[in-house]
Chains A and B, each alone.
Chain A
């Protein structure tokens, strides 16, 4: 750390990312509470917004494109998706008998 960081001019990327994240979050809140859509449509809507926001944050805050260890990043993301699917789909499958 320490020696090789330099000050950027202005963190535009972060500000834009921040504002877009806020917009997406409030949009999700609005869909859930005030849009009056059918439950299915609400669920689809907020899932889409969630995925959008995840991608946005990966690029705006998490610097996915800036690292020199591309291979590790790829493995990491692939594994994250795998675990996410296992946890969500696995839970639904396992708990289906209660539903």
Chain B
């Protein structure tokens, strides 16, 4: 690597990005210094092990990444609006769809979901924190530095450009000589380790830390989906870890795992990638199902219809999700037996998914429905997701897939499931649980504006793509010629993308507006909720529950409200609460990971080794750490509770 290649040059767009990055950094440093906030930042956020704050940081990062991925998307749509556009050249287009896909899935959808689960799961099960709070902080910071490492690629060294799937041989040294795909391998590895630890952490939390009386079959549906998601994470992510490690070896040390020559097997990468990749899409969709279940049952004021069938179908989906991966490469050349098998397993997933759709519909039936913003997202999810699902079954037929494969039909399909499923769920969850995070509501009027703009824009953008696909337009093409008849639909799609962009801006404005003028939630239970998170104050006290509630039924809080029993607090019976201490080490270890990763990307092994020493040092220090946490005194609990308890 020559120094002249270190910074990416030659593109006005890149220079503009350079300038805005520098300005943003200067701005942040200035504001923190001017308002003397450095200590606050360190004490309250960088060293926190509180699951609620970690959740908030996840969600802030996810929204930033949604912005980055969204700008990528708009750039692509701009380039495709008309035939023969010169806005992006082919190399730049390749880089942008690669970063868009990777960022949206790994650095937007995943952290958004993980953020919500961080905030909500301990509250729903009546716990005071997660099982391993320190590990939780480390998970977050590893994800964060992984995301940052990936994001600086486009100004330092160059973006990855082999697609978010990084198929070999394209992603190998021979065809992608720059450092771009090193970024892909290393950044995903670092954040992947964080995700794996989150999976373990929440599995243990849910299995071991439920309040008295909360049997597995009394767990709220969101918690159930997270439990199963953790299982998927634990079993799927190691495959990614190994595949990425092999990729890293191929790229940095010239091993031959995935090369064309010397006994390498390039298609094995695709195979391993999708063994992880298909469970991965369920990792982002199952929690979304959980969010919709909570929202639908709260705003239909009914118990979730067919709870047991719901649980059964999530377990079924999770099981099936490990035996369908070949549907991503039916056209690779495997025999008829292989393709038929995976075709059938894939179609079988439609059965438990269908069960769930009917469960939501029956929950809605005869419910007293309140059309809040969260509910609108959930209601819109059902038909939109069904469109995505039905086209998914079309793609699942191996023979037909030879036609659809890698066309805009596929692009439309997976955006219909990812956006109408995961993104709608994230927005629904954000509106629904916002008071738990910040103590105030998101403005409903603005929320509905976002909803309509985004939802309509989404359909205007992606519905035409089904037809573009059938007309022969393939994915990842950076331009097309005029005579093909694709222009009108492409213009429509770009208009839709712009509408979504405006919807996102309204959401950002809403966050700002609500912080200043938003309605405070004094009750802790603004939606008349059913599960335990609504039994806490808004924003939630540091220790979550002064007294851990006892659970007598599914919809525990609803039962407590109906019977009028269960939330009274006897001040005499309060005990000091044990809490974990903050620690700066997860943050510092992750910084070391960043430099180790950066060193690997550029093959600066001295830097990588020095940073690795710091990582190991951090681990050693941790194992000699005998800080057992601290106690919150009864007096302090009383003071806090008197301030927030309504019936006191």
**A interface residues with partner B (beta carbon < 8 Å):** 1-2, 69, 72, 79-80, 83, 86-87, 90-91, 93-98
Contact = CB atoms under 8 A, between A and B. Distances in A.
Interface string B258-279: 0000000101100110010000
Interface centre among B235, B268, B335 (most CB of A within 10 A): B235
Interface in B172-205: none
Interface string B189-224: 000000000000000000100000000000000000
B322 A95 contact: no
Contacts of A97: 333-335, 338
A69 B206 CA distance: 14
A46 B306 CA distance: 49
B578 A98 contact: no
Contacts of B272: 91
Contacts of A98: 265, 267, 333
A87 B275 contact: yes
17 contacts: A2-B629, A69-B207, A79-B231, A80-B235, A83-B235, A90-B323, A90-B325, A91-B268, A91-B272, A91-B275, A94-B326, A94-B338, A95-B268, A95-B271, A95-B334, A96-B335, A97-B335
B628 interface: yes
B338 A93 contact: yes
A20 B275 CA distance: 33
Contacts of A72: 207
A2 B628 contact: yes
A74 to B, nearest CB: 14
A96 B265 CA distance: 11
Given A2-B578, A2-B628, A95 B267 contact: yes
A91 B268 CA distance: 8
A58 B471 CA distance: 56
A contacts with B: majority SS: helix
Contacts of B252: none
B423 to A, nearest CB: 29
A54 to B, nearest CB: 14
B634 interface: no
B239 interface: yes
B contacts with A: majority SS: helix
Given A2-B578, A95-B334, 10 more contacts: A69-B207, A72-B207, A79-B231, A80-B235, A87-B239, A87-B275, A94-B326, A94-B338, A95-B265, A97-B333
A95 B333 CA distance: 9
A93 B275 CA distance: 13
Interface in B354-410: none
A86 B325 CA distance: 11
A93 B338 CA distance: 8
A94 B323 contact: no
A30 B325 CA distance: 37
A51 B271 CA distance: 24
B235 A79 contact: yes
Interface centre among A72, A91, A96 (most CB of B within 10 A): A91
Contact of A94 (B231, B239, B271, B629): B271
Interface of B: 207, 231, 235, 239, 265, 267-268, 271-272, 275, 322-323, 325-326, 333-335, 338, 578, 628-629
A90 B342 CA distance: 10
A96 B332 CA distance: 12
A91 B325 CA distance: 10
Contacts of B334: 94-97
Nearest to B578: A2
For the complex of A and B, the 5 pairs showing the least CB-CB separation, nearest first, are A2-B628, A83-B235, A97-B334, A91-B271, A94-B338
Nearest to A93: B338
Contacts of A95: 265, 267-268, 271, 334
A69 B265 CA distance: 42
A93 to B, nearest CB: 6
Nearest to B627: A2
B478 to A, nearest CB: 30
A83 B268 contact: no
Contacts of B207: 69, 72
Nearest to A91: B271
A70 to B, nearest CB: 13
A66 to B, nearest CB: 15
B371 to A, nearest CB: 41
Nearest to A99: B265
A51 to B, nearest CB: 18
A21 to B, nearest CB: 19
A90 B341 CA distance: 11
Nearest to A1: B628
Given A91-B275, A95-B267, A83 B322 contact: yes
Contact of A86 (B231, B322, B335, B578): B322
B134 to A, nearest CB: 10
Contacts of A83: 235, 322
Contacts of B628: 1-2
Contacts of A91: 268, 271-272, 275
Contacts of A93: 338
A87 B272 CA distance: 9
Contacts of A96: 334-335
Contacts of A2: 578, 628-629
Contacts of A80: 235
A80 to B, nearest CB: 8
A77 B323 CA distance: 18
Contacts of B239: 87
A48 to B, nearest CB: 21
Contacts of B578: 2
Contacts of A94: 271, 326, 334, 338
Contacts of B629: 2
Contacts of A69: 207
B593 to A, nearest CB: 25
Contacts of B267: 95, 98
B632 to A, nearest CB: 15
B250 to A, nearest CB: 17
A20 B326 CA distance: 39
A23 B629 CA distance: 40
A49 to B, nearest CB: 19
Nearest to B267: A98
Nearest to B236: A83
B291 to A, nearest CB: 26
